[in-house]
Amino acid sequence: MLTRQVVVQSKSLDEVASLVLRKQEMLASIPAIQPIPNEDLTQTAGGFGWRIHPIHKIQKFHAGMDFTCKQGTPIHSTGDGRVVYSEYGTNGYGMHVIVDHGFGYQTLYAHLSKLQVRNGQRVKRGDVLGLVGNTGLSVGPHLHYEVHRNNEAVDPANYYFNDLSPAEYVRMLELSRNAGQALD
Ligand SMILES: [Zn+2]
C-alpha cells in the first residue's frame, strides 16, 4: 500500500512540475508591461471604454488604450509570443502588429510609422515591434494598444502589473477613466 501511495504521489508531483513549467510559460506570455514606458510618454493615455471619437465626433467604443509619444518612439511587445500580423491594414489601424501570446491572449499595436518584425516571428516581452507613427485613422502620433482575451477586447489597464507600484497603478486607472477623448 505504501509503495502504491509513493507511486501515486510521484505521479502527481510530475503533474505539479509540468503545471509549474506551464505556469512559468504563461507568466512570460501574458501581456504584463506597458508597450511604451512612462518615461517616453508625452501625455497621459486615453483609456478603454466609450469615448468621443476624434474624427467622427460621436460616442464610439474605444477598444484599446492610446499612448501619446513622439513619432519614432519604440514600441515593445508586452509578452512573449508570435507575430501573426505585421502589415498596413485597411481597417483604420494603419500599419499595425498583432502578437499571439497563447493562453487565449492577443495584443494589437496600431498606427505605426515603421514595422520591425515580420509575420511568424517569435518575440520576447520587451522586444521592439516597430515605431510610433500616425498611419491609418489617427489624429496625431500615438500608439493605440489593444489586449484581446478569447477574441474579446479587454481593458489594457488591467495588464501592466509588472511595471507599476500599487500607487502608480491606482493613478493610472484614474487617468485611463478620466480621459475624455481618444486619439483612436
Ligand atoms: Zn486608440
pLDDT tens figures, 53-84: 777 778 888 999 999 999 999 999 999 999 99
User: Which carries the bigger pLDDT value, residue 164 or residue 150?
Assistant: 150
CA of 19 to the centre of ligand 1 (A): 36
CA of 10 to the centre of ligand 1 (A): 50
pLDDT at residue 173 tops 60:
yes
Q: Are 140 and 146 in contact (CB under 8 A)?
A: no
CATH class as words, domain 31-178:
mainly beta
Give percent of the chain with pLDDT exceeding 70: 91
CA of 138 to the centre of ligand 1 (A): 8
User: Which carries the bigger pLDDT value, residue 2 or residue 156?
Assistant: 156
Q: What is the pLDDT of residues 80-134, one digit of tens each?
A: 999 999 999 988 999 999 999 999 999 999 999 999 999 999 999 999 999 999 9
**118 to each of 32, 51, 65, 144, how far by Cα in Å?**
22, 32, 23, 19
pLDDT band at residue 44 using 50, 70 and 90 as cut-offs: low
> In sequence order, what are the beta bridge partners of 82?
100, 122
Pairing between β-strand 105-115 and β-strand 95-102 as defined by DSSP bridges: antiparallel
Query: What does pTM read for this prediction?
Result: 0.82
CA of 142 to the centre of ligand 1 (A): 8
Residue owning grid cell 508570435: 82
Each domain of the chain, given as residue ranges in start order, spans: 31-178
CA of 99 to the centre of ligand 1 (A): 17
> In sequence order, what are the beta bridge partners of 109?
97, 145
Residue owning grid cell 505585421: 86
